[in-house]
């Protein structure tokens, strides 16, 4: 497969496309490696993962440059992604030996307890918008809790994942326990459709998520799907304008808008809308779009040509449907970037609830701004979506914040901030945004399964009490 840089459209690498036969072989090898790894002590597993995290930090400049060239994110943002990804290995290395069971009181003379065990071979499929983060988000907990893990990165952005595989081997992970299988649809179908897979975890588009859920159902395999979003940011009139402008813009345009959590529906209370509109428009126009490796760049290109074309098309469709372009940033003018996948950051007003730009995920640097009058109207507008991944509230009224947070239909709600993520906190969506949770104790629940053990304490005879 040719791997393109979105900065200038050039080919920066060639990566083998993993055929189904090789996928099948990798699963068999992973099963064998799992048999040993699952018996190792959690402390030993934790040491290997901690070393992997430390090695990532040693190689952070190389990894960040690789990610910037392949993904198109500014170098500073790519470096932050690498450090956060390294933190995933370190966090789960420390959680590996904290997984405990329970002694359960029951009727009769029994010692009854539960333990948590790894599933086996985990299939992880990740998207192209934050490849190094999503790779470690799957690999780290799967390996920490004793599983094997086969990772299929997006065919557009496999480079950092392949580097991660080398780092894990250098850290001491057994050969074959964690493999990266680059490829397209055939590779993914071979991986998720194999009956030897014990758990499937996926992040990406909801259409692909439905196909993966169907494959999992066929083999009765548990799965977790983190899908798209169409998140709202509710801005009340009492929120400080200067702070809100920077926070809202960051919540929309970070990573060129290529984030499932992007707060692209901006709902503004009418009492403070005029001043906020001016601030948002001015800040949008000042966004510096350009080469991700150049100092001062705030917004890089879209990662794929197809995504650039989709974003441009959705902006045109919105204007034709009656939306107004309130503000746009500038495209880079450097000749060497002329073939790059750049899109002007765009702020739209005069949108209506039925418009495509309001209903569907753009996955680009585009925000739709509308107004509301009452708290109830704001909540109704925010919840008027098939998605349910995230939402943001900007207000200094503590009582209102908690009322609105409780009323919003979303897996995560941020208050007076946006987009903060931690491995310690459960994350996932509802509705069209998928199901299942990753992070913290939720990751323990996802990547392990319960086993109950009953031991008779009767002295003289065996018992067979069947309790229904």
Residue 274 three-state SS: helix
| CA 193/CA 20 separation, integer angstroms | 11
Cα 29 to the chain's mean position, in Å? 28
Can 226 be counted among the known catalytic residues? yes
- For residue 406, the tally of other CB atoms under 10 A from its CB is 9
Compute CA distances 65 → 69, 75, 85, whole Å.
Answer: 6, 7, 15
Question: Could you write out the DSSP letters of every residue in 225-257?
Answer: EE-----EEEE-TTS-HHHHHHHHHHHHHGGGG
Cβ 347 vs Cβ 325: under 8 Å: yes
Cβ 186 vs Cβ 71: under 8 Å: no
| CA 284/CA 262 separation, integer angstroms | 15
Residue entry with tokens 């588009």: 205
- DSSP secondary structure letter of residue 391: E
Phi (first) and psi of residue 434, to 5 degrees: 100, -165
Q: Give the active site residue among 58, 67, 165, 226.
A: 226
Side-chain-side CA neighbours of 34 within 13 Å: the count stands at: 25
Sign of CA dihedral 395, 399, 404, 406: positive
Cα 351 to the chain's mean position, in Å? 28
Sign of CA dihedral 431, 432, 437, 439: negative
Cβ 412 vs Cβ 423: under 8 Å: no
| CA 331/CA 287 separation, integer angstroms | 10
Phi (first) and psi of residue 41, to 5 degrees: -70, 145
The DSSP bridge partners found for residue 299 are 289
Burial of 107 (0-12, 13-18, 19+ CB in 10 A): exposed
Write out the catalytic residue numbers: 226
């Amino acid at each position: 497969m040719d791997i393109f840089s979105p900065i200038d459209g050039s080919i920066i690498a060639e990566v083998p496309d993993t055929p189904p036969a090789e996928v099948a072989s990798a699963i068999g090898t992973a099963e064998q490696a799992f048999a040993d790894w699952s018996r190792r002590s959690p402390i030993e597993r934790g040491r290997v993962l901690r070393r992997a995290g430390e090695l990532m930090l040693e190689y952070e400049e190389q990894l960040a440059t690789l990610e910037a060239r392949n993904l198109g994110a500014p170098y500073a943002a790519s470096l932050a992604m690498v450090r956060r990804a390294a933190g995933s290995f370190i966090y789960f290395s420390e959680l590996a030996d904290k997984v405990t069971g329970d002694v359960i009181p029951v009727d009769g003379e029994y010692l009854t307890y539960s333990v948590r065990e790894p599933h086996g071979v985990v299939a992880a499929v990740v998207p192209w918008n934050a490849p190094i983060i999503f790779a470690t988000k799957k690999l780290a907990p799967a390996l920490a809790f004793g599983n094997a893990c086969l990772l299929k990165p997006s065919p557009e952005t496999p480079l950092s994942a392949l580097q991660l595989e080398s780092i894990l081997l250098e850290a001491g992970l057994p050969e074959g326990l964690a493999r990266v299988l680059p490829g397209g649809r055939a590779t993914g179908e071979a991986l998720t459709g194999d009956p030897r897979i014990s758990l499937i975890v996926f992040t990406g588009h909801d259409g692909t998520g439905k196909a993966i859920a169907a494959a999992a159902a066929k083999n009765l395999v548990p799965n977790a799907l983190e899908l798209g979003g169409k998140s709202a940011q509710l801005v009340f009139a009492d929120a400080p304008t200067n702070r809100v402008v920077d926070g809202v813009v960051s919540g929309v345009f970070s990573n060129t808008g290529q984030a499932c959590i992007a707060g692209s529906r901006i709902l503004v209370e009418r009492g403070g809308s005029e001043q906020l509109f001016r601030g948002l428009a001015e800040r949008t126009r000042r966004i510096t779009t350009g080469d991700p490796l150049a100092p001062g760049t705030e917004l890089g290109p879209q990662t794929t040509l197809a995504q650039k074309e989709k974003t441009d098309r959705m902006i045109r469709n919105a204007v034709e449907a009656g939306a107004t372009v309130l503000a746009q940033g500038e495209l880079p003018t450097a000749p060497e970037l002329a073939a790059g996948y750049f899109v002007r950051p765009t702020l739209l007003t005069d949108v209506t609830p039925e418009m495509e730009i309001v209903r569907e995920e753009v996955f680009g640097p585009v925000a739709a701004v509308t107004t509301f009058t009452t708290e109830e109207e704001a909540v109704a507008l925010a919840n008027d979506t098939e998605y349910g991944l995230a939402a943001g509230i900007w207000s200094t009224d503590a009582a209102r914040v908690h009322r609105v947070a409780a009323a919003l239909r979303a897996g995560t709600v941020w208050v007076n901030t946006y987009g903060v993520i931690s491995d310690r906190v459960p994350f996932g969506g509802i509705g069209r945004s998928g199901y299942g949770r990753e992070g913290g104790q939720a990751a323990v629940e996802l990547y392990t399964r319960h086993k109950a053990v009953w031991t008779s304490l009767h002295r003289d005879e065996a018992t067979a009490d069947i309790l229904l």
